[in-house]
Amino acid sequence: MKKAVVLLSGGIDSATCCAIAKNEGFSVYALSFRYGQRHSYEITAAEKIAHHLSVIEHRVVGIDLRAFGGSSLTSDVAVPKNRKINKTEIPNTYVPARNTIFLSYALAWAEVIESRDVFIGVNAVDYSGYPDCRSDFIRAFEKMANLATKAGVEGEKTTIHTPLINLSKSEIIQKGISLGIDYSLTHSCYDPSPEGLACGFCDSCLIRKKGFEEAGIPDPTKYKINK
């Protein structure tokens, strides 16, 4: 079986991406990051999903993006709530160069385990307008990756797979349900309560809620009561 490195954040998209890679016949090597995010519920969710989907190996690598700051997700700036989401304004939840850094680590691990396939659950439909979620970025990263590595120089092409890039959140959820994912294991909220309950009003909660509504599937998320 061919090996694939799959970036697994613990949210709906990366869980679905992981299930798709597995369904396509890859041995899945899941990669998560402790990057100085405000809470650790993402990592707990990633661990649950990795177990749920029986991946071959799951690594959680510590990287300190708080060293630079520049985002409400890695500093003490407030996460915006009930924002009118649009694709032209990039919100303060944007973490500078985050996907570039994540994909670079995935590329490193892929080269070490002799995998030529990396999966990332970026999505350019129901998203917060982050530049590093767009197809142009991914294709440029892939081109760079094939010039960066020993494998690339030796003619072995690495592919960055983005199976969700053109799907809406509801389509992603429907796809995941068809592959047997238990979405109650996933975590999306940027600003959960100390007990890990979702706030219900950050971009990530708003997009998630709308996704379940449009898919006609009951939302398994535990929200805190917040009137």
Q: Give the pair of three-digit tokens for residue 54.
A: 């029986």
Which of 78, 147 has the CB closer to its own copies? Answer: 147
Among 145, 164, 185, 198, binds its own copies (CB under 8 A): 145
Residue 64 within binding range of its own copies, rule CB under 8 A: yes
Residue 196 within binding range of its own copies, rule CB under 8 A: no
Q: What is the DSSP string of 143-209?
A: HHHHHHSHHHHTT---EEE-TTTT--HHHHHHHHHHTT--GGG----SS--TT--B-S-BHHHHHHH
How far, in Å, CA of 64 to CA of 66, rounded?
5
How far, in Å, CA of 132 to CA of 11, rounded?
17
Residue 220 within binding range of its own copies, rule CB under 8 A: no
Residue 39 within binding range of its own copies, rule CB under 8 A: no
Residue 143 within binding range of its own copies, rule CB under 8 A: yes
Among 141, 183, 190, 201, binds its own copies (CB under 8 A): 141
Residue 85 within binding range of its own copies, rule CB under 8 A: no
Residue 29 within binding range of its own copies, rule CB under 8 A: no
Residue 67 within binding range of its own copies, rule CB under 8 A: yes
C-beta of residue 169 within 8 angstroms of C-beta of residue 209: no
Which of 149, 193 has the CB closer to its own copies? Answer: 149
* Residues ≥6 apart with Cβ < 8 Å to 117: 2, 3, 4, 5, 21, 26, 110, 158, 159, 161
* Residues ≥6 apart with Cβ < 8 Å to 112: none
Residue 101 within binding range of its own copies, rule CB under 8 A: yes
Which of 63, 165 has the CB closer to its own copies? Answer: 63
Among 51, 153, 156, 226, binds its own copies (CB under 8 A): 153
Among 8, 13, 30, 111, binds its own copies (CB under 8 A): 111
Q: Give the pair of three-digit tokens for residue 186.
A: 């996933």
Residue 27 within binding range of its own copies, rule CB under 8 A: no
Among 76, 112, 194, 225, binds its own copies (CB under 8 A): 112
Q: Which range in 45-53, 56-64, 170-178, 179-187 contacts its own copies by CB under 8 A?
A: 56-64
How far, in Å, CA of 160 to CA of 157, rounded?
10
Residues, the chain: 227
